[in-house]
Amino acid sequence: MASFNAGTVCALLVLCMVVPSLATDYTVGDSTGWTTGVDYSTWTSGKTFAVGDSLKFNYGSGHTVDEVSGSDYSSCTVGNSISTDSSGATTIQLKTAGTHYYICGIVGHCGSGMKLSVSVGKASTTTPTPSGGNTTVTTPAGTTPATTTTTTGSSSATALSPIVAVMIITWSALSVLFLL
């Protein structure tokens, strides 16, 4: 009984500590890829980009992916790129919020549609709330008077920092294994 409760506490805590990676990888233009004759504003419409997401550009030879300033994006000016790649498969991680601009650096291609602007918001915050996790822990710990050591360890975990909590969880898990 005691070991079951301790195990549940451990499982719940571990679940709450694992921050899920919600980053999204977008393939620019989807199956069409990065090429001329595409309206990328249509592709971006309805999509929400956040810090941590990445853009994958797939294209044949004769194209590049250049990150440029907003003004160079608007005027399709090549040659001032912040970064450039022509590997045919460029993955760009969106590291900062704000609007990022990409064009093809081959003269004429930007004007033929190879221009992409993405508005990047702050990292998504749909992670489990730590307070909810701690509340869940408190309940089984209080209703488990059988094993004094486990109860003490678990209730301490609610009051201490996550790192200490992890240590206590590990210790609790080892105790459970030992008891079994």
- Residues of the shown chain interacting with Cu ion in the complex, contacts defined by CB under 5 A: 63, 104, 106, 109, 114
Least separation in angstroms between CB 65 and Cu ion: 9
Count of Cβ atoms closer than 10 Å to residue 12 Cβ: 16
User: Quick one: 104 or 157, whose CB is closer to Cu ion?
Assistant: 104
Give residue for tokens 């309940």. 139
User: Quick one: 104 or 169, whose CB is closer to Cu ion?
Assistant: 104
Q: Residues 6 or more apart from 80 whose CB is under 8 A from it?
A: 68, 69, 72
Least separation in angstroms between CB 69 and Cu ion: 18
User: Quick one: 114 or 176, whose CB is closer to Cu ion?
Assistant: 114
Least separation in angstroms between CB 90 and Cu ion: 12
Q: Residues 6 or more apart from 138 whose CB is under 8 A from it?
A: 155, 158
Longest dimension (CA), the chain: 76
User: Quick one: 114 or 157, whose CB is closer to Cu ion?
Assistant: 114
User: Quick one: 50 or 106, whose CB is closer to Cu ion?
Assistant: 106
In terms of DSSP bridges, do strands 83-85 and 65-68 run parallel, antiparallel, or are they unpaired? antiparallel
Least separation in angstroms between CB 71 and Cu ion: 20
Count of Cβ atoms closer than 10 Å to residue 176 Cβ: 19
Q: Are the CB atoms for 100 and 115 separated by under 8 Å? A: no
Least separation in angstroms between CB 47 and Cu ion: 22
Tokens of 20: 């899920």
Q: Are the CB atoms for 24 and 51 separated by under 8 Å? A: no
